Amino acid sequence: MAPSPACHRGQVASAHGKRNVRMRRREFMTLLCGSALYPLTARAQQSRIRRIGYLDYGAGILPSGGFAPFHDNYRRKPFLEGLRESGWVEGQNVTIDRRFAAGQADRLPALAAELVALNVDALLAAATPAAKAAQNATKRIPIVMADPGDAVHLGFVSSLARPGGNITGVTSLAPEVAAKRIALLKEAFPKTARVAVLWNSAIPPAELALNELRAAAPMLGIDLQFVEVTGPPGFADAFAAITRDSADGLFVFPDPLTFGNRESIVGFANKNSIPAMFGAREFVEVGGLMSYGSDYPAMFRRAGNYVGRILNGESPAELPIEQPTKFELIINLKTARAFGFDIAPTLLARTDEVIE
């Protein structure tokens, strides 16, 4: 709720006669009445509990009914923190209706329609499929996307600077990041010649990222093997394809499916002595070798802040799509030693964080 303006008491004595005294008194009373009415108006505007729809392509609820730890720590809590920055607290002045597709993209249109039918005041759409479902479900309700991919190329907004419609958001993409990731992998392991690129075909990597990889690979002396996976059952076939084609490097696009299966991906790479570059630190925290990327919890915090600002009256059309400005290189030296990965010392010297 907007803070009430202070009512300052002041002297109204005049050195210029009664007429001026009366004028100043009228001015004072007008100001005083306006000050009194302002907080009443603000309270009236926020007396209604606001409602947010939260649509997530991934999984967030345990069979027991509680929040899954990964979603709770890396998505839900940062999102709520961002809301609080704009003055909104779940359970006090805002409620959140959550829907999770658990990696099943075909469920998203119905889930988005449910949230629209609830007449929520704003929608948060996590990941590209959720953002597309939300976009198709409403042109009226403001939508904030978290990690939508290439928002312009995918048709979500007309431009990053001025989205122009009912959609805005925060993305993990920035120019040349994909190329930088495989360049760092090559620098860490100069003999790398064939890199498998593991990606979720339900969330195609942004065309910008794919073009960057294709352009950078020849200059780095690398052949790329694109390996699609459509859901948890598909990882066994993906791992077999990577092994069969003798990839000596692995790059994993971060998305809800790979996040949710990061332990098995990390385990496969380490067990087969394949140096792996991941797009987020969450993979390194469970034993992955190295990552280069932005801060995903910070992205959800910023998305929460955007939702709060929209509830406060700002228009999504005027809120630019935010891109990350800081990327961190993180290396798990404990994993490197345990599985015999000999990382180039020059790269270790430039690492932002080393896990030992």
Taking the alpha carbons at both ends of the chain, their separation in whole angstroms is 46
Chain-centroid distance of CA 178 in Å reads 17
Same domain, 82 and 152: yes
pLDDT at residue 214 in the model: 92
| 242: in domain | yes
pLDDT at residue 202 in the model: 77
Residue 312: CA atoms inside 13 Å, Cβ hemisphere, count?
Answer: 17
| 37: in domain | no
- Which residue in 182, 189, 176 sits closest to 348, CA to CA? 189
The residue segments making up the domain with residue 154 are 50-173+296-318
pLDDT at residue 210 in the model: 82
Cβ contact 187:346 at 8 Å: yes
Note if the pTM is more than 0.85: no
Rounded mean pLDDT, 190-203: 91
pLDDT at residue 305 in the model: 98
CA distances from 247 to 9, 102, 240, 250 (A): 76, 30, 11, 7
Same domain, 193 and 222: yes
The DSSP code sequence of 228-252 is EE-SGGGHHHHHHHHHHTT-SEEEE
| 33: in domain | no
* Whether pLDDT at 39 is above 80: no
- Our count of domains for the chain comes to 2
Same domain, 227 and 341: yes
Alpha-carbon gap, residue 183 to 275, rounded angstroms: 13
- Give 197's strand partners: 226, 251
| 24: in domain | no
Indicate which CATH number applies to the domain containing 185.
3.40.50.2300
| 345: in domain | yes
Same domain, 155 and 217: no
Taking 3-state DSSP, the helix, strand and coil percentages for the chain, each rounded to the nearest 5, stand at 45, 20, 40
* pLDDT tens-digit map of 217-265: 999 999 999 999 988 889 999 999 999 999 999 999 998 889 989 999 9
Same domain, 160 and 222: no
| 199: in domain | yes
Rounded mean pLDDT, 269-285: 96
Same domain, 196 and 224: yes
Same domain, 304 and 274: no
Same domain, 181 and 128: no
The DSSP code sequence of 158-196 is S-SS---SSEEEE-S--TTHHHHHHHHHHHHSTT--EEE
Rounded mean pLDDT, 48-77: 94
Same domain, 146 and 205: no
Rounded mean pLDDT, 181-192: 96
H or E segment to which residue 18 belongs: helix 18-46
Alpha-carbon gap, residue 311 to 307, rounded angstroms: 6
Same domain, 145 and 192: no
| 339: in domain | yes
Same domain, 130 and 65: yes
Alpha-carbon gap, residue 305 to 173, rounded angstroms: 19
| 73: in domain | yes
Instruction: Calculate the average pLDDT of the chain.
Output: 87
Pairing of strands 290-293, 328-332: antiparallel
Same domain, 244 and 346: yes
Identity of the highest mean pLDDT range in 4-13, 111-120, 165-174: 111-120
